[in-house]
Each structure stands twice: as structure tokens, then as C-alpha cells.
Chain A
Amino acid sequence: QVQLVQSGAEVKKPGASVKVSCKASGDTFTTSYIHWMRQDPGQGLEWMGIISPSGETTSYAQKFQGRVSLTRDTSTSTVYMELSSLRSADTAIYYCARDKDTRMVTPTDWGQGTLVTVSS
């Protein structure tokens, strides 16, 4: 089983950007699609986007188009999620998750989550 370890909690001011990392162990990471989701405190899950194994292909939820960017460093088995123009409504726990196959519909192994707090 692939283990995903995310970077630590962040506190940002409105209008700033945040970049969260997701580092994996295991050989299967190099062939895995990686999803990003977020969860508002005490609320449900929301899908943000996905990046291909090579990092060349991404797909984003319409809600986040233009504000989110997923990138991948294959040499370090790390995926990054950057969210810009932050507002208080972006305060949430952000999760990365590996997909079990190439259909890109089943976030399978999840990271521990990263709390991002947006506050002036």
C-alpha cells in the first residue's frame, strides 16, 4: 500500500497563495494518478482536481478552474497543490489521494490531510 505524507499546517492571509505537498512511498506512485480534495471544518468532501503520473495532464473541478494548479516532481515522488487568491471560505483540510487505477474515479489511499487557515 502506498503511503502519502502531506506537508504541515499553513496560515495564510486573504489574497495570498498556498502550496501543499504530498510525498509518496512505494514504486506504484510513479504510475498513479493523484487526486486532491478538501473538507471544510465539520463539512463534506469536495473534489478539486487530478494529475496524471507524468504530470503532463491535469483536470480541475469547474469551481476551482483558474485558481488551482497541480504539479508533480517525479524525481522526488512529490505532488503539489497550489491554490491562489485565498479567501476565508478556503479554510479547510486539504487531502491528496492516489487512484487505484487509470479510470481516475476512485481516490484510494489518502494522505493525512493539511489544514489551511485563511485569516487576516
Chain B
Amino acid sequence: QSALTQPRSVSGSPGQSVTISCTGTSSDIGDYNYVSWYQQHPGKAPKLMIFDVIKRPSGVPDRFSGSKSGNTASLTISGLQAEDEADYYCCSYGGPYTLVVFGGGTRLTVL
């Protein structure tokens, strides 16, 4: 069982927007702005898409955005494209004993 809770799957049509949620606790997401999001295509390593809740690494399209409210973080992808179909994982600081915790992952299907 993962430390952070994500929906198993979401879907959307090209051009639409989708939001993936990631729920933690007041000890991780709620207390720290150290949420990151990763995109993983089949057979590939994860790729950092968002860090520090809202920041995008260089080269990541601005269609990807992050936010946080209380113990829940969210990743929104606007203007869905076929290449966005992938698994998405959230990640947060997990405290002094397990520094990093991940969500169970969400499969995004572009219809």
C-alpha cells in the first residue's frame, strides 16, 4: 500500500483537461511544499514534470501544472495530446524516517 493515494485511472479526449489528485497527510503533503510529479511511459524511466508543487523543469510544456490544497496535491494537464498517455506518480517528502514517499500511480488514457 502506497503512502500517497492516487486514483488508479483517469481519461480524457484530445484537447480536454484532466486533473490527477494525490492525497497524503498533514505529515507529508500538508506540511511541506515538496510535492513532485513524474510521467512514465511503458518501458521507460520516470520523468520529472513538476517539483515544489508548482514548478516546471526546463523543457516541460506549460500544459502541465501543479497545485496543492491541504493534504491533497493535484496535477492538471490541459490541451491533452496523445503523447500524454502514460502513468503519473506523485511524490512528497515523507518525514525523517522515510524521506521520500510515492503515490501508487495513475494511468492516463487519451481517448
Chain A contact residues, CB within 8 Å of chain B: 35, 37, 43-47, 50, 59, 61-63, 95, 100, 103-113
Question: Contact between A45 and B89 (Cβ–Cβ < 8 Å)?
Answer: yes
A85 to chain B: closest CB distance in Å? Answer: 20
Select B2's contact among A44, A106, A108, A111, beta carbons within 8 Å. Answer: A44
B43 to chain A: closest CB distance in Å? Answer: 9
Chain B contact residues, CB within 8 Å of chain A: 2, 32, 34, 36, 38, 45-48, 51-52, 57, 89, 91-94, 97-105
Select A112's contact among B45, B48, B94, B105, beta carbons within 8 Å. Answer: B45
Question: Contact between B48 and A107 (Cβ–Cβ < 8 Å)?
Answer: yes
Q: Report B-chain residues with C-beta under 8 Å of the C-beta of A113.
A: 45
Question: Contact between B51 and A100 (Cβ–Cβ < 8 Å)?
Answer: yes
Determine the residue in chain A with the shortest Cβ distance to B102.
Answer: A45
CB-based A-B contact count at 8 angstroms: 66
Question: Would A106 and B36 be within 8 Å (CB), given that A35-B100, A62-B97, A62-B98 are in contact?
Answer: yes
Question: Would A105 and B93 be within 8 Å (CB), given that A44-B103, A45-B105, A95-B45 are in contact?
Answer: yes
Q: Report A-chain residues with C-beta under 8 Å of the C-beta of B102.
A: 37, 44-47
Extra A-B contacts (10), CB below 8 Å, given A62-B97, A108-B57: A45-B91, A45-B105, A47-B98, A61-B99, A95-B46, A104-B100, A105-B34, A105-B100, A107-B46, A112-B45
Q: Which of A47, A63, A104, A105 has its CB near the most chain B CB atoms (within 10 A)?
A: A105
Determine the residue in chain A with the shortest Cβ distance to B104.
Answer: A44
